[in-house]
Amino acid sequence: MIIVTGGAGFIGSNLVQGLNARGITDILVVDDLTDGRKCLNLSDAHISDYLDKDDFLARIQAGEDFGPVEAVFHQGACSATTEWDGRFVMNVNYQYSKALLHWCLERKLPFYYASSASVYGEGPVFREAREHEHPLNAYAFSKFQFDVYLRRLQSQISSPVVGLRYFNVYGPREQHKGGMASVAFHLNNQLRDGDSVRLFEGCDGYGPGEQRRDFIHVDDVVAVNLWLLDHPQVSGIYNCGTGLAQSFNDVANAVLKFHGRGRLDYIPFPDQLKGRYQSFTEADMGALRAAGYSASFLTVEQGVERYLAWLAKRA
């Protein structure tokens, strides 16, 4: 059995699809379906069981086993960067992760978890080292603090434990995320409902739409996770991006090109985001490459076309 927490969410459900593509269906999905729309992400998946996240936590805290487990992919979290209830975020993201980590360590199970590029704050260096980590919100702090906790234990750990610092992930099965969904998703909806797409005006010295992020298609994220499953000798904290920053204008132009129509407009930069916005991110992929990962990554132009084609089939 493979356990996927957050398995009805964006990255988790795509990971389930990736496991299914390998013929793996003995999968326990753990999630919170208070928002029942998330279950649609699993409507075409093959899994063996489902557990609510609180029930699962109670059972692992009680020391319960679930039979033979091959690995745990911990993708579940409160992912809203706008959530400022720090007690809630730390409980759901940090304490939950600690409990699951120790459950896996006691059983020597491979543990692969979702960290975040948000730990780097405004950068400018995005390399896996403490001196470059400056979280700007509660979500980022919760991810950062778990990475710190793992680092303190790492010399004592003999089983595979890997944290992946996801950069700006986009792609299928993110529709339930609302405002937290990718810019490609929102721009596609804007053009579907009108004749233009809208980006923020310039900030932090960048021109309109020229803020740059490391946008990574979720298929590439799944590929990295599955590669780790195949290479249990790899442990540590690694960036998971493309290594190439591209502008929001690149995303918008890829959406316009796919539809063959529309214009690009710019709107004022929101006051509430000033000082809390990553205007530039670019993953230093040296550590993951040194660990042996050699596959290429989709560019924004390639990835957005693939994503919008997927959306068009399910319109």
* Residues 6+ positions from 169 with CB-CB distance below 8 Å: 10, 11, 182, 216, 217, 218, 221
Identify the bridge partners of residue 112 per DSSP, sorted by sequence position.
73, 162
52: helix, coil or strand?
Answer: strand
Q: How far is CA 305 from CA 183, 257, 265, 276, 279, in A?
A: 14, 9, 21, 30, 24
Contacts with 233 (C-beta within 8 Å, 6 or more apart), sequence order: 160
| Residue tagged 């989709």 (tokens) | 298
Catalytic site includes residue 96: no
The single-letter DSSP state of residue 94 is I
Name which of 90, 154, 145 is nearest 119 in CA terms.
Answer: 145
Given 53, 177, 206, 257, which residue is catalytic?
Answer: 177
143 catalytic per annotation: no
Place of tokens 């075409």: 44
Catalytic pick among 139, 170, 238, 307: 139
Catalytically active residues, by annotation: 139, 177
